[in-house]
Structure 1
Amino acid sequence: MISDNLNGVYQKITEACVKAKRQPSDVTLVAVTKSVDAVAARQLVENGVINLAENRVDKLLEKQHDLKDQTAIKWHLIGNLQRRKVKDIINQIDYFHALDSLRLAQEIEKRAETEIKCFVEVNISGEASKHGFSPEEVLNFVNELKTFQKVKVIGLMTMAPLTATEAEIRVIFKQLKKLQTTVQDLEIEQAPCSELSMGMSNDFGIAIEEGSTFIRVGRMLFGAM
């Protein structure tokens, strides 16, 4: 039952916030609906979750069409985006969680009709299978965005390896938090960088304890369906 799963997620958010001395209202739950149909996604919206995420352009557009009557939804693209598909999706989303190159930023700047809230993807763990900037590349990248008008770097995003231990996950999330603070302190208009998108079903409690403000949860919401 989606409502029961959602209550379980909210309980875990609250528990993590208590441990971190934070407010649950400081954490945005982004529901990853890639594994379910629009009917299940609609149930979630009817239970008050308005931030929905997909990792593929075609699937997001399909869900958006099926849920077009749900005007409160904020749409998040969390998967890597090919430059040739930017024109198809960039004006249909509210948040983009995987900005991973200057050329992609340039294409978004060219195609976007309004300012797009973006997270810079950072490959903290250094895994070859993951996209994103190395931590050492991030400051140079955000400095290159100073003249952009449509790309707004509101924060940083990372993913911990699925096989990582809790201690290893904490190290990764702490490093991203430190980098986020460093970027924020630069006071770049196009990169306020006040947010952190980190934490999924298996580790969002740890992520919240380490400062995450956006958690991306799918399996814990829909896994038992």
Structure 2
Amino acid sequence: MICENLKEVEAKIEAACKRAGRDRSEVTLIAVSKTKPVEMLEEAYGIGIREFGENKVQEMMDKYEVMPKDIHWHMIGHLQRNKVKYLMGKAALIHSVDSLRLAEEISAQSVKHEVTTDILIEVNIAGEETKFGTDREEAIALVEAAAKLPNIHICGLMTIAPFVENSEDNRKYFQQIRQLSVDIKEKNIDNVDMRILSMGMTGDYEVAIEEGATMVRVGTGIFGARNYNI
């Protein structure tokens, strides 16, 4: 199942890149493996997946211990400050930095563990009350403040668009966050580059790619429906 699903996702990514006049190499597919058993991750690994996304620190740590070490682990879920220390040297990228206090903790732990941690600033571009993320107006100030902290590097932005029936409804949000990344890039802030735009999930990643996503986070499209009982 995973192999067939992955072929379908790859074909859609290719097609979206072609429509946007982009090269396939510009888009990184992250297999969102939250709640999925190790056996399914091993199957995905066996057919070439090396980028996995997890929502919870403990689940990521458990999988990190038993999976091959050439995997890039992406922390994409809301991150509590008291859990940051466990990610040091293990998370290739933390997507969900939504406050200066969290950035400060990541910086402090990175200094303590003598590593540099790559992060994205999470922006709640649609202003949904149920979602985490800084708002658009505060994002630039957060980037400027976090960029001054030692041992972290801001690599771009992340957003979780609204859940919609028609993926076209999210195009405007993807356009807005891409413009925000352009605005930040033009400021030439030290320790900041906007090379990563993490946006688009199973329901809307094709539109996200058309609007400039460099990372898409696909779970259900690869692994099937999520088990919410875990």
Give CA-to-partner distance per residue, 1:21-67, whole Å, 9 cap, x none: 00111000000011311111011111111001100001000111121
Q: Does 1:170 align with 2:171?
A: yes
Aligned to 2:116: 115
Question: How far apart are the structure 2 equivalents of 1:128 and 1:77?
Answer: 22
Question: How far apart are the structure 1 equivalents of 2:60 and 2:225?
Answer: 22
SS at match of 2:40: helix
Q: Structure 2-normalised TM-score?
A: 0.93
Question: How far apart are the structure 2 equivalents of 1:99 and 1:131?
Answer: 9
Q: Return closer, same or farther for 1:33/1:189 CA change in 2, 3 Å cut-off.
A: same
**Residues 75 and 95 in structure 2, CA contact (< 8 A), matched pair in contact too:** yes
Aligned to 2:62: 62
| Stretch moving more, 41-50 or 185-194 | 185-194
Aligned to 1:130: 131
Aligned to 1:13: 13
Aligned to 1:105: 103
Aligned to 1:87: 85
Aligned to 1:221: 222
SS at match of 1:128: coil
Amino acid at match of 1:203: D
- Give, in angstroms, the shift of residue 184 of structure 1: 1.1
Question: How far apart are the structure 1 equivalents of 2:10 and 2:166?
Answer: 23
- Give, in angstroms, the shift of residue 165 of structure 1: 3.8
| Stretch moving more, 97-106 or 165-174 | 165-174
**Residues 168 and 207 in structure 2, CA contact (< 8 A), matched pair in contact too:** no
1:154-193 counterparts in 2 under 5 A? 154-163=155-164, 165-193=166-194
SS at match of 2:160: coil
After TM superposition, the runs of 4+ consecutive aligned structure 1 residues lying more than 6 A away are none
5+ residue gaps in structure 1? none
Question: How far apart are the structure 2 equivalents of 1:193 and 1:28?
Answer: 15
- Give, in angstroms, the shift of residue 94 of structure 1: 0.7
Amino acid at match of 2:80: Q
Question: How far apart are the structure 1 equivalents of 2:167 and 2:201?
Answer: 13
**Residues 145 and 190 in structure 1, CA contact (< 8 A), matched pair in contact too:** no
- Give, in angstroms, the shift of residue 149 of structure 1: 2.2
- Give, in angstroms, the shift of residue 168 of structure 1: 2.7
5+ residue gaps in structure 2? none
Aligned to 2:44: 44
Number of equivalences? 223
- Give, in angstroms, the shift of residue 223 of structure 1: 0.7
Aligned to 1:197: 198
Amino acid at match of 1:138: A
- Give, in angstroms, the shift of residue 153 of structure 1: 1.1
Q: What percentage of residue pairs aligned between the two structures are identical?
A: 38
Give CA-to-partner distance per residue, 1:76-108, whole Å, 9 cap, x none: 000011111111223321100100000001101
Give CA-to-partner distance per residue, 1:147-200, whole Å, 9 cap, x none: 222221101011111126434300000000000111111112221122100000
| Stretch moving more, 181-190 or 57-66 | 181-190
Q: Return closer, same or farther for 1:99/1:181 CA change in 2, 3 Å cut-off.
A: same
Amino acid at match of 2:182: T
- Give, in angstroms, the shift of residue 224 of structure 1: 6.6
Question: How far apart are the structure 2 equivalents of 1:13 and 1:170?
Answer: 16
Q: Structure 1-normalised TM-score?
A: 0.95
| Stretch moving more, 11-20 or 39-48 | 39-48
SS at match of 2:164: coil
**Residues 148 and 190 in structure 1, CA contact (< 8 A), matched pair in contact too:** no
